[in-house]
Structure 1
């Protein structure tokens, strides 16, 4: 899940509200846990089966330490700064010490009550951010407007090696000149005083009201480090500092973190003395909960079985701000141009081939059988949680193998040698390399299920290297446009901003398919135009965009997700509802009603 955008994750954070202003990437392709706002639409219906807040009403003890399980089959990477990280496991760690500056309401718009407030000029071209006077870094230094401005400067620097420089940033006055080294400062960012900053935009952008970058970067710590070396520096990897309710006491990178209460937290000291975080393999998560080894986890949907759930836990649930998808490699990221460039000769360049693969996938069956109904077939790249913009009339790629076969036949993909698999239109053997991630027990069956779906329509799809890919390796290959990858399965956490430009824009590094088109450029631009402050106009634009993406099929949305958080019955005062309060405060308010976890 942080700030403007983030990368693909394997499990969405338990406190998605801790990442409300973030575009995150899920490590899907297989398993993953979840989190979204209730809708009546069948695609993501909220069953009401699970409470959204702990029901424990017992008297709380003083202090205590909670044990948090980061469910993952791989170590967390350890890039523990919102400016530089890209994987959700790292975000899972950061939520405890580096929350967003902003609070958000149930509709995901920024509201008062957080570590900073946001207001706009009458023409919506200037945003003013005021940071709470009491907000300090955990090293004792105040969080300043200069720190907030510094984050923009680092992300806009041409030597920045992260993935957050996109259209949200280029819309800031003077940012592109700064990025091109034509200016030493960003003219549109003005530090008013120690705690107040003004940001001027070229064009009014309605997305800023939900998706303004929301993480400062401590200039006293990072100011002397070259931008190109920041992501690998000690303040990111070894001794990260934040301003949240907890601070890092000790860490074994990739394995565990010991947090202690930040007694100087600006809204008051947390109720807990500390939190012990450790990586828990999904294959042992149920037993870890049963034995009390962990108090809280983002629970993998594929392991949900109400008949065998431990009796010492309570299951909380909410619909995810996320979707799974199948991506097609259509080109490369051109670093010199700072944009995606399509390759007309790419193996997956034929639109009919992509559409056919979408129709061949039985996502409804996947959701029911592999995820116990906690995932449902997705129809659009705008999730139903964005109720003003999601278009339920769009049916997407419903399971229709006969239509898939017809599309392939018409496009010239036919079996010419009688081996059961179709050749390409030129008569050449067609083998499609499929990158899918490792994970929990569903990872392999899920990948093989889709491979069989495609085989049923005559397509020869093989797992890349004959195996599932480990999380970090998977994204390294996807981001670097490994030529051996033809298709890949992953997932996106959308964050709270409906604007999809950060994932599918021409200059978006997260556009892993490398898809571009003039119509896409036009619609994405219109979606954040001044006219788009009129919600009806913006809704129509995004309806057209959803239809375009279904037609062009650079990616195929596969599953919407329902997220579960398992908590030990000694946990009190914990709420996962959107708009229930500032993310840092939600964590600071957690209490325990027993010294030791309840066991079964």
Structure 2
């Protein structure tokens, strides 16, 4: 709710964020004697450092360990975190956040606005080389881009702390969805005194100091991590779960076996098994729309010569039968994708793209025609390349099916290569690939969180696609009141240039024990916090 402010003339409006809710346990609920939530992840986390973490599962842990200005509720709406509210100036370029006075770090030190200033400056500091530095640039924080480029000192970043409970953010341009962006891990506070003492080892269990609902008490890389209640957390009295255990289980089938055995409360459903499991466990098998896309990215910077030809890229895209992949391979409610941005994105109107309206037979015929025009195929040069993906049963199945489609329809020879997650990220980030798997889950619920990935300056534009018009449109969209025409043109350019092949838009397919309550099934970002969950007696 916004109300006019007559007290401070510079400020136009005050935003009071909806009241926060921790675990909302209905009256009469019989809680389990042991409040421990155990769940499985596929790979080791990239980091527990808010300004360094770059993967979805790692961010889930960081959201428990640290708390930013705002959190999300079960419907994806922002609710108070360390900040209680914010005001916005008349020109929509100055945000002033009012911080609560009862927030503390796990060592008892008060959380202050200065902790946010330090963290945000750290995120853009070239020396740290945060993989999410570009996100701070996307937030349009004054001087952010220049600092990241090494042209200005971090002290010039448009963020300041007039006092311990006031954080002022100056933007270089209005950004209508700015408040949504501060629930992201990169914007969480960091404890300077701990980092100064321990350096890169500050996130080890024996060193870490955090301000979220939980503290990290154990971490065995590639095996398990444990987080337990932070007694210093301002809302600890409403937290129910005492402990959260994360197990790294690199095989979907093994994860399901351990779920069946009651060893984990949550795991992902193996590809193709959702219909059967939903019938067997109607109250514990879920297929939930999720704000994520799955795609393949061409290395257009230094990949093989054929990938420099748009006709080759289009042919490979057209020849993939997405309906087969989602309906026969995955079978989990995923949506065939012909645009990069998911249709579930808030306010996004899915534009018409030509190849989406073709039948698959028409796409196949066009693919053969395009490939022949480019000089490849039965009557031309043999096309071959390597497809890189990170180790996972479902990724492997998609890779196999795609390679078979390309071979049968176009005569293309594909070598499949899989790598462990961290190695894969490094390989792809260094452009040491030809065609690689990609996926992105929205950092906030607005189309720019996807389309900005394919701008020239994006830190996650791994194929190094560059189009001046895309850059121009995305820059214009940041201050536009009607973004859909701009986003539609960007999607049209992507469909024409095909720097990436959209495959599907996600559905979260999980087995979740019915003893775990409070899961945010209506949040399309699937942003969850352990503090909002509780375990009932069986």
TM-score interval, normalised by the smaller of the two chains = 0.7 to 0.9
TM-score, normalisation: structure 2: 0.84
Report the count of equivalent residues: 502
CA distance in 1 between partners of 2:505 and 2:496 (Å): 20
Judged with a 3 Å threshold, the aligned counterparts in structure 2 of structure 1 residues 349 and 57 are, in CA distance, closer, same or farther, namely farther
Q: What aligned pairs does 1:573-588 form with structure 2 within 5 A after superposition?
A: 573-578=518-523, 583-584=528-529, 587-588=530-531
Specify the alignment match of 1:7 in structure 2: none
Q: Secondary structure at the match of 2:330?
A: coil
Matched, 1:158 2:126: yes
CA distance in 2 between partners of 1:487 and 1:462 (Å): 10
Matched, 1:551 2:503: no
Judged with a 3 Å threshold, the aligned counterparts in structure 2 of structure 1 residues 252 and 309 are, in CA distance, closer, same or farther, namely farther
Specify the alignment match of 2:508 in structure 1: 563
Specify the alignment match of 2:327 in structure 1: 368
Specify the alignment match of 2:12 in structure 1: none
By how many angstroms is 1:520 displaced?
1.1
Q: What aligned pairs does 1:43-54 form with structure 2 within 5 A after superposition?
A: none
Judged with a 3 Å threshold, the aligned counterparts in structure 2 of structure 1 residues 252 and 515 are, in CA distance, closer, same or farther, namely same
User: How well do the aligned residues superpose, as a CA RMSD in angstroms?
Assistant: 3.1
By how many angstroms is 1:495 displaced?
2.4
Q: What aligned pairs does 1:237-256 form with structure 2 within 5 A after superposition?
A: 239-256=207-224
CA distance in 2 between partners of 1:498 and 1:367 (Å): 23
Specify the alignment match of 2:412 in structure 1: 460
By how many angstroms is 1:105 displaced?
6.8
- Bigger Cα displacement from structure 2, 166-175 vs 446-455: 166-175
Specify the alignment match of 1:476 in structure 2: 426
Q: Secondary structure at the match of 1:490?
A: strand
TM-score, normalisation: structure 1: 0.76
Specify the alignment match of 1:410 in structure 2: 373
Q: Secondary structure at the match of 2:457?
A: coil
CA distance in 2 between partners of 1:61 and 1:387 (Å): 36
Specify the alignment match of 1:203 in structure 2: 173
Specify the alignment match of 2:397 in structure 1: 445
Contact in 2 for aligned 1:322/1:494 (Cα 8 Å) = yes
CA distance in 2 between partners of 1:579 and 1:291 (Å): 29
Specify the alignment match of 1:136 in structure 2: 104
Q: Secondary structure at the match of 2:40?
A: strand
Matched, 1:520 2:470: yes
Which has the bigger relative contact order, CA under 8 A and spacing at least 6?
Answer: 1
Structure 1 stretches of 4+ moved >6 Å: 53-58, 579-582
Specify the alignment match of 1:38 in structure 2: none
Specify the alignment match of 1:34 in structure 2: none
CA distance in 1 between partners of 2:227 and 2:242 (Å): 9
Q: Secondary structure at the match of 1:306?
A: helix
CA distance in 1 between partners of 2:162 and 2:253 (Å): 52
Contact in 2 for aligned 1:70/1:92 (Cα 8 Å) = no
Contact in 2 for aligned 1:322/1:561 (Cα 8 Å) = yes
What CA deviation, in whole Å up to 9, does each residue of 1:443-483 have, x standing for no partner?
A: 3332111011111232423225xx4222222211100111x
Given candidates 168, 177, 189, the residue that maps to 2:159 is: 189
CA distance in 1 between partners of 2:129 and 2:181 (Å): 21
- Bigger Cα displacement from structure 2, 263-272 vs 508-517: 263-272
Matched, 1:593 2:536: yes
Contact in 1 for aligned 2:214/2:227 (Cα 8 Å) = yes
Q: What aligned pairs does 1:16-55 form with structure 2 within 5 A after superposition?
A: none
Structure 1: which 5+ runs fail to align?
1-52, 333-342, 417-421, 424-428
Contact in 2 for aligned 1:65/1:276 (Cα 8 Å) = no
CA distance in 1 between partners of 2:189 and 2:166 (Å): 12
Contact in 2 for aligned 1:503/1:510 (Cα 8 Å) = yes
What CA deviation, in whole Å up to 9, does each residue of 1:371-402 have, x standing for no partner?
A: 11421211211111125223253355563211
Given candidates 171, 192, 201, the residue that maps to 1:219 is: 192
